[in-house]
Amino acid sequence: MHISVIGSGYVGTTIAACFAELGHTVTTIDIDEEIVAALSAGHAPIDEPGLEDLLESHAGDSLEATTSYDAVVESDVTFLAIGTPSNDDGSIDLTALEAAAEATGETLADKENRHLVVIKSTVTPTSIETVLEPAVTRGSGGNENIEVGMNPEFLREGSAVSDFMQPDKLVYGTDSEWATERLHAIYEPLLADHDAHIVETDPATASMIKYANNAFLASKISLVNDLGNICKEFGLDAYEVMEAVGLDDRISERFLRSGVGWGGSCFPKDVNAIIAAAREEGYDPALLEASVEINDRQPERMLELLEHHVALEGSHIAVLGLSFKPRTDDIRNSRAIPVIEKLQDRGAEVVAYDPVAVDPMRERFPDAEYANSAAEALDGADGVAVVTDWDEFAVLDREFDAMDEPVVVDGRRIVERRDGIVYEGLTY
Ligand code: UGA
């Protein structure tokens, strides 16, 4: 099949490369000339394991990149993978996606064969019917050969390519049997040696499945953090408790790691967007609001634990880990941001370290100090806040000798407890 993919961000680039790997002919379209040049040369604009290899082997062959929408007409199916950022009130900002939908419609105005436009971006349940479908129709002058569907993604940063190739489920949100068959034909090659559940539904339900999925996972962590805070109050170890709880297969042992909370480009944005959408419908989503509140509270708890041992005013505090999770340099909504903000508000000097995310954080906090290694950050520090579970923090040992009285507050249960260190787990 010939597929066009509009938007070459993390989702668009990953799905384009993977569609090419599945044997399709793919054209990516992006307004950013630098990204298009990188893709044309087979280089990934983002750092994602396995992506560069796929691009190298398909670029210039079954995978092409361009800034022109003309390629849309030649294709059978167009995926829209444009970012859906948040407005100030947390609601979804569809401006860029709506413009892309309209431009896609314009390109398809005279198309005589049936064409499927698939929304890959995460959108609220009413977005397709009230904003995106009308934008396509407006652009195309009402060309009835065009149909709009929804196919949400469940890719994690850092394992997006393998998540694509081995999905738990594929969700086809369409209004016709024809569109469902089209989507299925795209994914069929990966089902040859991998079992995945196929969910066939309508576009609004498909949109909601994505939000419900992320809201569930984020709330699962917030619930574990709430229980973890209670464990800490009782002097109990939340990890021991949750290990036993996870043995119940209705709960599962995954996503039970308590600590400083969830971040990234998806959970915070998506949970807030579905809260805002629900409120707009007149419903007050109390549990999701509590999930966000608990998540906002965890960095403050980290500071309170640190303050039990260190007077923060004028102190030097090492912040270990700046990315929102290990194996990425992405700092979007990283818990390190509120931790550094709160430390600075209380008059502490922050010395931050991360194996890959120092540069983006330096832009965010130019007045903090940045170390080249964990050892350098610890040297002379009065306390340590561990925010990201990078493997290298698990083997820190003699590095603590460079602190007068080592105090470690661990938000990810990654540092190993040892004699001579005052060690506080956030939830254990
Ligand atoms: C998340 C979802 O896991 C993907 O399924 C989804 O496709 C993606 O959002 C999206 O909507 O695009 P991602 O943002 O890459 O993926 O990050 P996760 O690996 O899910 O981690 C999110 C946050 O939760 C991180 O800050 C992580 O440290 C935290 N976390 C995760 C915990 O605090 N405890 C856990 O047990 C697990």
Residues 284 and 166 in one domain: no
Of 46, 82, 221, 294, the residue with max ligand 1 atoms within 8 A of its CB, to mutate for a pocket test, comes to 221
Q: What's the start-to-end Cα distance of the chain, in Å?
A: 53
Residues 382 and 409 in one domain: yes
Residues 120 and 18 in one domain: yes
**Section 23-44 average pLDDT:** 96
Of 155, 171, 201, the position where a domain reaches its end is: 201
Residues 175 and 274 in one domain: no
Active site includes 18? no
Among protein residues, the one with the nearest Cα to ligand 1's atom 25 is 262
pLDDT confidence bin for 6, thresholds 50/70/90 = very high
Residues 219 and 194 in one domain: no
Mean pLDDT of the chain: 97
CA distances for 39 relative to 1, 4, 57, 79, 416, angstroms: 20, 14, 12, 17, 42
Q: Where are the beta strands (DSSP E) in 129-268?
A: 146-150, 169-173, 197-201
Residues 109 and 184 in one domain: yes
Strand 146-150 relative to strand 115-119: parallel, antiparallel, unpaired?
parallel
- Please tell me the total count of domains within the chain: 2
Atom index in ligand 1 nearest the CA of residue 221 equals 34
Residues 323 and 376 in one domain: yes
**Distance between CA atoms of 376 and 55, rounded to whole angstroms?**
38
The pair of structure tokens assigned to 211 is: 């939000």
Q: Does 167 sit in the ligand 1 pocket, CB within 6 Å?
A: no
Q: Give me the domain span that covers residue 175.
A: 2-201
pLDDT of 188 reads: 97
pLDDT confidence bin for 119, thresholds 50/70/90 = very high
Q: 171 C-alpha vs ligand 1 centroid, how far in Å?
A: 19
Residues 195 and 266 in one domain: no
pLDDT of 74 reads: 95
For 104-113, the pLDDT digits (tens) are 999 999 999 9
**Distance between CA atoms of 365 and 387, rounded to whole angstroms?**
16
With a CB cutoff of 8 Å and minimum separation 6, the contacts of 234 are none
CA distances for 250 relative to 68, 118, 231, 240, 253, angstroms: 49, 33, 22, 18, 10
Among protein residues, the one with the nearest Cα to ligand 1's atom 36 is 255
Atom index in ligand 1 nearest the CA of residue 388 equals 28
Mutual orientation of helices 267-280 and 203-233 as an angle, nearest 10°? Answer: 110
Atom index in ligand 1 nearest the CA of residue 255 equals 36
HSE-CB at 61 with a 13 A cutoff on CA atoms is 13
Of 145, 169, 201, the position where a domain reaches its end is: 201
Whether 52 has a pLDDT exceeding 90, the answer reads yes
Alpha-carbon Rg of the chain, whole angstroms?
Answer: 24
For 252-284, the pLDDT digits (tens) are 999 999 999 999 999 999 999 999 999 999 999
pLDDT of 306 reads: 98
Among protein residues, the one with the nearest Cα to ligand 1's atom 19 is 156
CATH number of the domain where residue 172 is located: 3.40.50.720
Q: Does 256 sit in the ligand 1 pocket, CB within 6 Å?
A: yes
pTM over 0.85: yes
With a CB cutoff of 8 Å and minimum separation 6, the contacts of 385 are 302, 303, 306, 317, 318, 319, 320, 339, 343, 409, 411
pLDDT of 308 reads: 96
Of 168, 201, 234, the position where a domain reaches its end is: 201
